[in-house]
Amino acid sequence: MKFRDRLTFQHAQPASEESQDELRILKREINLARNIQTRLLNAEAPKLISGEVIGSSIPARLIGGDYFDFYTLTNGKIRIVIGDVMGKGIPAAMLMILTRGAFRSAAESTRGPGETLTAMNNALYKDLRSLKSFVTVFCADWDPKLGILTFANAGHNLPLYLEENNVKELPRAKGVMLGGLPNQVYQEKQIYLKPTQTVYFYTDGIVEAQNPEGEQFRLERLIRTLLQNQGKSVQELEKAVVHAVFQFMNGMNQKDDITMVILQVGEHSTDIFCYNSPMIQLEGGQA
């Protein structure tokens, strides 16, 4: 997994020495918050003997509200989650940390993605309602031995899967966003994935990225990009999507976090191990 920050803290120099001290303290605290978030999003990622999975996030500001995570289950499956907190910047980042805690706690005690989302909503509902916020989340269990992806959705973008020069959305699973309604039961669905297939999880910062004319990148361009790069490694596919999005933006400021998880299926009946995935720096010193 990698978490990359494209921005640096900038602010006009204040007039007084006292305000300069306050600015230095604020800058230090924001950078500390960014480092904490970076470490959390660079936690242990699963390594598949056959196949591969990666995640990446590019915040629109110093710190972001998008979230992705992996959790290795005792039955040999891997639990994947991707989410998008309403809002941007520090408030969204704080809610992202709460979301991460709720996922990690739920992943240890629930049997599937549907139960995981139910537990997360139960844990977060009161806080999200009091803050007038919500989180969209997609959760999936990948079974590399059987080749089955079981998933549930809390109001998030449906992931895409690539097969034989075609891109489709996963079957629709009903479920409201976390914080939307109390006592929710989230529907689970399953799909069988053949070797070499790729599943692409993403947040709306990709499809809603805008160019100078105000046009959005949209799902059609994302699908076209995935088709043009079908058969490439997960790392190459991730770089191709990021390049396509920023080329389309043509110098426009990034308005929303850009986050993705890519699962590439290998031969079935594999085992899962864990390793620490390094951060990948962008060209020009940007991370």
Q: What percent of the chain has pLDDT over 70?
A: 84
**β-strand partners of 255:** none
What pLDDT, in 10s, does the model give residues 32-86? 776 776 666 665 668 776 789 999 999 888 788 899 999 998 777 899 999 999 9
Mean pLDDT, residues 9-21 taken together = 63
52: amino acid identity, one letter: E
Question: What is the value of pTM for the model shown?
Answer: 0.83
Residue 276 CA to residue 43 CA, distance in Å, equals 7
Confidence of residue 16 (pLDDT cuts 50, 70, 90): confident
Residue 186 CA to residue 70 CA, distance in Å, equals 20
What pLDDT, in 10s, does the model give residues 167-203? 999 999 999 999 999 999 999 999 999 999 999 999 9
What pLDDT, in 10s, does the model give residues 146-166? 999 999 999 999 999 998 889
Confidence of residue 283 (pLDDT cuts 50, 70, 90): very low
Which domains, ranges and CATH numbers included, belong to the chain? 42-270 (3.60.40.10)
Q: Three-state SS string across the chain, please? A: CEECCCCCCCCCCCCCHHHHHHHHHHHHHHHHHHHHHHHHHCCCEEEECCEEEEEEEECCCCCCCEEEEEEECCCCCEEEEEEEECCCHHHHHHHHHHHHHHHHHHHHHCCCHHHHHHHHHHHHHHHHHHCCCCEEEEEEEEECCCCEEEEEEECCCCCEEECCCCEEECCCCCCCCECCCCCCCCCEEEEECCCCCEEEEECHHHHCCECCCCCECHHHHHHHHHHHCCCCCHHHHHHHHHHHHHHHHCCCCCCCCEEEEEEEECCCCCCEEEECCCCCCCHHHCC
Point out the least confidently predicted range of 11-25, 71-85, 241-255. 11-25
Confidence of residue 275 (pLDDT cuts 50, 70, 90): very low
Q: Is the pLDDT of residue 14 over 90?
A: no
